[in-house]
Amino acid sequence: MKFFIDTANLGEIREALEMGVVDGVTTNPTLISKEGMEFRALVTEICRLVDGPVSLEATSLEAEGMIKEARELAKIGDNVVIKIPMTEEGLKAVKRLSAEEISTNMTLVFSPSQALLAAKVGASYISPFVGRLDDISTGGMELVEQIVTILENYDFPTQVIVASIRHPLHVVEAALMGADIATIPFKVLKQLVKHPLTDIGVQRFLEDWAKVPKK
Ligand code: G3P
């Protein structure tokens, strides 16, 4: 299972990379807007820091505009993946970008039928947003289970990125379902590490170690 970090913050990306568990990055316009940095400079630095895939979102509403943006963004690095929203225009764009061998991440996926369409047009990745579904009392992880089954039924090469993760249990459930990737906010990545019994254990070992006579 791969872990991506869902942030555009350079400090968070550096720290997560040092932890050794991060295989890629996903961004979106909201995350980019929080950084107060010029867009091109920011994403160029992210792509330089990270070896794995970096998702950058196209913001045009028409397929032609998305494709134009994608071609420009793809020049930033070999690891760029273009995030395209799940719309009719988005499907047209992914189909054409896939023919040009530009990697795509179909985003804002909220139903199994949307995921099936994304796989059919050749999206490299599909991002179901589990937290936003949970927010409206609909099972986000059930959607992931359905998507994983559909992709396996037909051997689609498209990979599932579980997105809009809110807590560690989303990550554990994604792993149990065999999702390819979880894109994890920095805060949740840190929460995955923590266990109170680990902290208590470390503290107790340190106290006992201090009692051992040493030369
Ligand atoms: O990057 C896409 C997704 O992870 C956004 O999450 O928390 O805004 O629903 P959120």
Q: DSSP readout, 162-210? A: EBS--SHHHHHHHHHHT-SEEEE-HHHHHHHH--HHHHHHHHHHHHHHH
The span from the first CA to the last CA of the chain, in angstroms, equals 46
Question: For a substitution probing ligand 1, which of 132, 143, 189 has the most ligand atoms within 8 Å of its CB?
Answer: 132
Whether 131 is in the pocket of ligand 1, judged by its Cβ within 6 Å, is: yes
Most informative mutation of 33, 164, 183 for ligand 1 (most atoms within 8 A of CB): 164
Question: Which pLDDT belongs to residue 8?
Answer: 98
Q: Is 68 a catalytic residue?
A: no
The mean per-residue pLDDT over the stretch 159-182 comes to 98
> Could you give the count of Cα atoms lying within 13 Å of 96 in the half-sphere of its Cβ?
16
Mutate to test the pocket of ligand 1, among 27, 129, 181 (most ligand atoms within 8 A of CB): 129
pLDDT of residue 105: 98
Kindly indicate the confidence band of residue 72, based on its pLDDT and cuts at 50, 70 and 90.
very high
The CA distance from 27 to 100, in Å, is 22
Contact between 149 and 117 (Cβ < 8 Å): no
Which residue(s) pair with 183 in the sheet?
4
Q: How confident is the model at residue 37 (pLDDT cuts 50, 70, 90)?
A: very high
pLDDT at 132: 98
For atom 3 of ligand 1, the residue with the nearest CA is 164
Residue nearest to atom 8 of ligand 1 (CA): 164
Burial 26-55 (b: 16+ CB within 10 A, else e): bbbeebbeebeeeeeebbeebbeebeebbb
Handedness of CA 57, 169, 50, 35 (dihedral sign): positive
129 CB less than 6 Å from ligand 1? yes
Residue whose CA lies nearest to ligand 1 atom number 6? 164
**For residue 152, what are its two tokens?**
């396996």
Q: Is the CB of 27 under 6 A from ligand 1?
A: no
In angstroms, what is the span from residue 163 Cα to ligand 1's centroid? 6
- Residue where the block lists tokens 């409206």: 136
**Per-residue confidence band for 88, with pLDDT thresholds at 50, 70 and 90:** very high
Q: How many residues does the chain have?
A: 215
**Percentage above 90 pLDDT, the chain:** 100
Q: Quick one: pLDDT band at residue 168, thresholds 50, 70, 90?
A: very high
Residue nearest atom 10 of ligand 1, based on CA coordinates: 164
H/E stretch holding 28: none
Mean per-residue pLDDT, 26-31: 98
Q: What is the pLDDT of residue 204?
A: 98
CB 93 within 8 A of CB 127: no
Among the listed residues 68, 83, 92, 120, the single catalytic one is: 83
Asked if residue 163 has its Cβ within 6 Å of ligand 1, the reply is yes
Name the pairing type of β-strands 2-6 and 24-26. Answer: parallel
